[in-house]
Amino acid sequence: MPSLFKSFLAGVLILVCAQTQAQTAVISRNGQPLPQSGKLKWNFLSVAPGAKAYFGRVIVEVPGGKSIRSVSGPGVLVRDKWIKPKKVMIALGNLKGPIEVEYTDGSKETWQSEIKLAKPIVVLKGCKEAGLKVEQSKSNIPPVFFAAECSVKEDRILFNASVPGDLEWDVTSIFETEGKGERWKIFEIARNNLVAGNDTVATLGFRWNDGHSTFTILQDRGKIGSTAAAAKDKGNRTKFRVDFGGTQFETKTPAVSASGFGPYAGAELISKELFWKLRSLLSAKYVFPLSGGNFYEFTGGLGKAFGKFQPGTSTFGLFAEYDAVGQSQEADDKTVTFQHNQFGVSALYAKTMLKSELKILARYSGLGGDSTSIGIQIAYEGLFYFNQPWGLVLGYGSQSASAPAGTSTFGQMSLGATLTF
């Protein structure tokens, strides 16, 4: 029994050691490895506006008595904040190559870096959700990494691929839109072609000395179907959120003027498509009377949305609605009360992302009446997450009313948080 336990323990240790050695990075100075802090870590890092590349990050100790000014080299990325008095973090985009180091005393050195992989690595971020997968179909080169980050933009998939700088891009079946001459490239893939086309979306060829390798971009039809269904369901559903924050409001009449502040609560609902593909738009807002005044607004409308509220797309909406606004304000021992009940229109713009949505809503009511009301609201839903998507909302409103004694104006400025359901 003890011998069996020892064999088992030895097997576990061998397995752990094998996993540890599967990916290693060594940075050498004068032929000697520099001490490292932590293990090799992989990340997508920004290399150009809208483009990222895959890097292996290593933290090494700075040689004693030295202070680093800058670090550079082929495929090497080091930001200023990564350079510390005793340590420096270096992002490696090549599997092997020189690192040029300049010290604050003006002296320079050349270090050497090497990343060893036990087997090829394929890393996809956001691509599986878009219905894409990647396989290495042919290869007679040492193990390398292939990494891609996918994003959906309207009817296209932006496929941002990167490989080690040691590889040379060879023949590809699609053309890049960005990244010519770089180890990273961005390809645009039409989503409509995925469902109608072959399983093979594209082939990407590479050369390394006398060796060649091919990575194939494939479509996952099951994933595409479920993704499309989920996107359609996400677009055509009721959208509801609640707001709460603070409102500064003011009143100006020919006789008096006053201002106040109070907390408010609000809600907004955009229904799914109803008859004739129309949607309803309902909203409510109430400012609690804590400083000698209060405010309310209730609206209900029906209109058309030109768009599907799907990730990567923009939606425009136009609604006919009924607007009910009221404000009361105490000033000079008097109470000024304003009520506005008129028909109007509202225009909506929404930019929908994967996990968030930017909305701009503009309103006008009271054309031809004794009172008018305008308002604009900017909401960024899903800006951050605490179990539910939270965001921020900024609102402005202004009303005017004509009377024999003159014109009175009323205004509101609000800032609050949003919680979307």
The rounded radius of gyration (Å) of the Cα atoms in the chain is: 31
Report how far residue 295's alpha carbon sits from residue 298's, in angstroms, rounded to the nearest whole number.
11
What are the DSSP calls for 116-182, one per residue?
Answer: EESS-EEEEESTTTTTEEEEEEEE-S---EEEEEEEEETTEEEEEEE--TTSEEEEESS--SB-TTS
Compute the residue count for the chain. 421
How far, CA to CA in Å, does 252 sit from each of 261, 287, 328, 386?
Answer: 15, 18, 11, 41
The domains of the chain, with CATH numbers, are: 24-116 (no CATH), 121-229 (no CATH), 236-420 (2.40.128.90)
Task: Give the Cβ contact number of residue 156 at 10 Å.
Answer: 17
Asked whether 104 and 95 are in contact (CB, 8 A), the reply is: no
Q: pLDDT (tens digit, 0 to 9) for every residue of the chain, 421 residues total? A: 445 444 444 443 433 333 344 678 999 999 999 999 888 999 999 999 889 999 999 999 999 888 999 999 999 999 999 999 999 999 999 999 999 999 999 999 999 999 999 999 999 998 888 888 999 987 899 999 999 999 887 678 899 999 999 999 999 998 899 999 999 999 998 876 665 455 888 899 999 988 999 999 998 765 544 444 444 445 578 889 999 999 998 888 888 888 888 999 999 999 998 888 899 999 999 999 877 788 899 999 999 999 888 777 789 999 999 999 988 888 777 788 888 888 999 999 998 876 788 999 999 998 777 889 999 999 999 887 777 889 999 999 999 988 787 888 889 999 999 998 8
Q: pTM value? A: 0.54
Task: Give the pLDDT of residue 152.
Answer: 82
Asked whether 152 and 355 are in contact (CB, 8 A), the reply is: no
Name the burial class of residue 365, with classes exposed (0-12), middle (13-18) and buried (19+) by CB atoms within 10 angstroms of its CB. Answer: buried
Name the burial class of residue 21, with classes exposed (0-12), middle (13-18) and buried (19+) by CB atoms within 10 angstroms of its CB. Answer: exposed
Report how far residue 4's alpha carbon sits from residue 14's, in angstroms, rounded to the nearest whole number.
15
- What percentage of the chain's residues is helix, strand, coil (to nearest 5)? 10, 65, 25
Using alpha carbons, select from 329, 388, 319, 328 the residue that is nearest to residue 349. Answer: 319
Helix count (H) and strand count (E) of the chain? Answer: 3, 27
